[in-house]
Amino acid sequence: MGKPDALMHVLLALTAVIVCGYVLGRLFRYVGQPPVIGEVIAGIVLGPSLLGRFAPEARQFLLPDSIAPFIGFIAQFGVILYMFLLGLELDTGLFRKRARATVLIASSSILVPFLLGGVLAFYLYPLLSSEAVPFASFGLFLGVAMAVTAFPVLARILSDQGIHQTPLGSLALSCAALNDVLAWCLLALVVGVAQSHLGSGFMVIGGAILFIGVMILIVRPIAQRVVARSDDGDASRGVITLVFVTMLLSAFTAEWIGIHAIFGAFLLGAIIPHDSAIARTFTAKLEDLVTIVFLPAFFAFTGMRTQLGIVETGHEWLLCEVIIVVATVGKIGGTFAAARFTGQSWHDSASLGVLMNTRGLMELIILNIGLDLKIISPKLFAMMVVMALVTTLATTHLLAGVRGQGAGVRKDEQSRKQEKRMDTAKAI
């Protein structure tokens, strides 16, 4: 395929994915689900799993395999921008307001599913992997994939439910934000181990630690001074150029070290104050472009790589169900136990567990990294994509059930208190 033909196919593919994602996103929003789920499913619908199976000629016309590298580059750059914006939206002040509860809940919500994922790896490794993949890389990656929470999707669910400004909503946001930070640090470690050879493993890990230290101790103070000078009004073109170039260099450095470019972009975004003029300017200028154009390209790229048809036997679908159950039990159970330990009510603890089980886009980003590094096979990739969709789809329904039950409990308590006051009045 020549470059002009490739360009035409890429433009046609992006058009199809954007339109399909928009339509399905609106449909899912109508039924009370996050629109991002519809956009993810749009990529799968146009990929080999559905359109390629029932209308292969139409699929080859819209998303031919030959354009996968082009879509892949667009998708990766889009994810780099998205992670930078996600870092800009990270409010570190949330951690300080309820530091003890946030740290304990976020840590437990990662540790428990991470450990369960590692245990599950012993069972899945001989079935879905090969000797070419070291078990350490496979087990560590599966643990991280089980532990992630989709901070942006969770924030959208809280907003749709009207509880984003409540104490429960604030705690959930702070826990999810810290969860993401910890998860990306773990992922950086796993990628460093997977990409390194025996002699260079510690060099990658040491480089990652040095990179984080430089970003926090040197780049962060400089960023704060630049932010202070720009907060009198909108960020100037020169400042925007400086930040954008720094973001690209940060992503480049992280990729060069071996911990993936998205970690560098996310880290730079996180050290810039979320309420600064720079953060507001970048969010205003990039958010629509990233969410409307670049992320659909990522969903198309993910859809092209998701082959649900290769999960054929009943046993393989049973393994998929086991993955969903382990991921759900680990996330909800770990969050619930820590929340109860910090003094949260049964209702709030259960709600937090359900919310932290949201995976969505963040899970897909991690899974694509695992597939790129050949840590997981295409079959396990498809199973994990199903897990990401199921756990995210279940969030709103489970949350509605928990909140309804909690409302009923509070109503019963209020009724008992009212009856007690009436009995007291009668006795008097």
pLDDT for the residue 244: 92
pTM given for the model = 0.78
Topology, domain 78-419: Na+/H+ antiporter like fold (1.20.1530)
3-state helix, strand, coil in the chain (%, to 5): 85, 0, 15
Helix runs in 148-200, H state only: 151-161, 167-195
Quote the crossing angle between the two packed helices 35-45 and 378-427, to the nearest 10°: 160
pLDDT for the residue 3: 56
Give the list of residues 6+ apart from residue 191 with CB closer than 8 angstroms, or none.
Answer: 258, 259, 260, 369, 373
> What is the length of the chain?
428
**28-to-269, 294, 332, 386 alpha-carbon distances in Å:** 30, 20, 24, 17
**Which tokens belong to 346?**
């049964």
For the chain, the C-alpha Rg in angstroms (whole number) is 23
Nearest Cα neighbor of 153 from 20, 14, 270, 25 is 25
**Which tokens belong to 119?**
């245990």
Give the list of residues 6+ apart from residue 297 with CB closer than 8 angstroms, or none.
Answer: 14, 17, 71, 74, 75, 78
Tens digit of pLDDT at every position of the chain (428 positions) = 555 578 888 888 889 988 998 999 889 888 877 787 888 888 888 888 888 888 888 888 888 888 888 888 888 898 899 889 888 877 766 666 667 888 899 899 999 999 999 999 999 999 998 888 889 889 999 999 998 887 777 777 776 677 766 778 878 877 887 787 777 778 877 777 776 654 455 676 778 788 889 998 999 998 888 888 776 656 678 888 899 999 999 999 988 887 778 888 888 988 888 888 888 888 888 888 888 888 888 888 888 888 888 888 889 999 999 999 999 999 999 999 999 998 888 988 999 999 999 887 788 888 988 898 889 999 999 999 999 989 988 888 888 888 775 544 444 444 444 444 444 434 33
Q: Where are the domains of the chain?
A: 78-419
pLDDT for the residue 409: 42
SS3 260: coil
pLDDT for the residue 279: 86
Nearest Cα neighbor of 298 from 51, 82, 86 is 82
Give the list of residues 6+ apart from residue 165 with CB closer than 8 angstroms, or none.
Answer: none
C-alpha dihedral (310, 311, 315, 321), degrees to nearest 10: 160
SS3 331: helix
